[in-house]
Amino acid sequence: MFKQIVYLIIASILAVLLMPYLSKAFIYILQVDNWVHLGLAKVFTGNAIGTFLTSLLGIFLIPLALALIIAGIVWVFKRTQFTYTMHVAWVSWIVLVTLLVFKAG
């Protein structure tokens, strides 16, 4: 428990120190989401179901693509499976959904 609290304090200090870089990274993540959303909007119609599918696939594909890219890089250099592929997908999904909620609100 104590070790986790120390990790949380260190992560908080790093977040405060790296805030300008994190904000730029978040802007890039939102730009990628907009790019994917515009690309998928060309495929699906503009009605309610098409808009829903565009948003759903965008939220699903970006974290999955990121996790698969990282797994591919690990495979190229180590020739072993990346055991944390789904962890990366879930964390990136949480970050993306949080950013989209704050952007909408």
| 74-105 per-position pLDDT tens digit | 999 999 888 999 999 999 999 999 999 998 87
Q: Residue 14 falls within a domain, yes or no?
A: no
CA–CA distance, 62 with 56 (Å, rounded to integer):
10
Q: Residue 8 falls within a domain, yes or no?
A: no
The tokens describing 99, both together, are: 């950013």
Q: Domain tally for the chain? A: 1
Q: Residue 15 falls within a domain, yes or no?
A: no
Dihedral over alpha carbons 38, 43, 46, 50 (to 10 degrees): -100
Q: Is the pLDDT of residue 65 over 90?
A: yes
Q: Residue 10 falls within a domain, yes or no?
A: no
The residue segments making up the domain with residue 68 are 20-104
Q: Residue 11 falls within a domain, yes or no?
A: no
pLDDT digits (tens, 9 = 90+) for 21-53: 989 999 999 999 999 999 998 998 888 999 899
Q: Residue 95 falls within a domain, yes or no?
A: yes
Q: Residue 37 falls within a domain, yes or no?
A: yes
Sequence length of the chain is 105
Confidence of residue 13 (pLDDT cuts 50, 70, 90): very high
pLDDT at 64 (0 to 100): 95
CA–CA distance, 45 with 90 (Å, rounded to integer):
29
Q: Residue 5 falls within a domain, yes or no?
A: no
